[in-house]
A and B are shown apart, each in its own frame.
Chain A
């Protein structure tokens, strides 16, 4: 079991370039999430997907789009990168929220993105 994997680990972009961050989980989880973490800050939720085929905005969705490709994969796209999007991006997944106290999020290792 690899858990949650993210690619790439590092990326440098120029302002205006586009790119897609990939995330995959092999735990058969229904829900997936994208967070960003700026230096010295906590994580902020960008988008999430409660289940395959659904996506919803989080706290800071502007400048991003997401695709829940299938149950395993959830990608984050920057259409026109800006320096303000320089950050570390974390993907997470969790089992279906069924009201039991077993709903834990598991995080990937992160993608470090720099926009020049």
Chain B
């Protein structure tokens, strides 16, 4: 799986959009970009994933550059509850019968403030 690079920390004012960048310059054509977050003392929570098209769900939007070497997770209206560590993970989906291992880095610690 490709290596990812994220800033160690970011701040965002409550109500504003939080834009979390991720570099994955060695990504291969069949590797997906996944985002998870971990709120303090809890297990990681899935947010969103994509291959090459931009994706949106009820939690966030994922913008992937055309060359797929970087992506941005967007939380459109950050709240205090969004304070967490956000992990960007690049991985190949497994074949049938195999397991989908995730490799977590150290992520970006997002602090949402009043």
A interface residues with partner B (beta carbon < 8 Å): 4, 31, 33, 35, 40-45, 48-51, 56, 58-59, 90, 92, 94, 96-101, 103-110
Interchain CA distance A97-B84 in the complex, whole Å = 28
B102-A97 in contact (CB<8A): no
Interchain CA distance A90-B101 in the complex, whole Å = 14
- Closest CB-CB distance, B26 to chain A, in whole Å? 18
With A42-B87, A48-B99, A50-B97 as contacts: A108 and B43 at CB distance below 8 Å:
yes
Main secondary structure of the interface of B (DSSP, over half): loop
Of the listed stretches B14-22, B70-78, B104-112, chain A binds B104-112
A104-B96 in contact (CB<8A): no
- Closest CB-CB distance, B96 to chain A, in whole Å? 5
B93-A43 in contact (CB<8A): no
Using C-beta atoms within 8 Å of the partner chain, give the interface range for chain B: 20 to 34
- Closest CB-CB distance, B32 to chain A, in whole Å? 7
With A43-B102, A58-B101 as contacts: A97 and B43 at CB distance below 8 Å:
no
Which residue of B is nearest A96, CB measured? B96
Interchain CA distance A110-B38 in the complex, whole Å = 12
Interchain CA distance A83-B99 in the complex, whole Å = 30
- Closest CB-CB distance, B95 to chain A, in whole Å? 6
A97-B93 in contact (CB<8A): yes
With A42-B87, A42-B107, A90-B44 as contacts: A103 and B93 at CB distance below 8 Å:
yes
A50-B98 in contact (CB<8A): yes
Contacts of A49 in B (CB 8 A): 99
Identify which of B32, B51, B98 contacts A97 (C-beta below 8 A).
Answer: B98
Contacts of B87 in A (CB 8 A): 42
B51-A101 in contact (CB<8A): yes
With A41-B106, A97-B95, A99-B95 as contacts: A107 and B101 at CB distance below 8 Å:
no
With A42-B107, A101-B49 as contacts: A31 and B44 at CB distance below 8 Å:
no
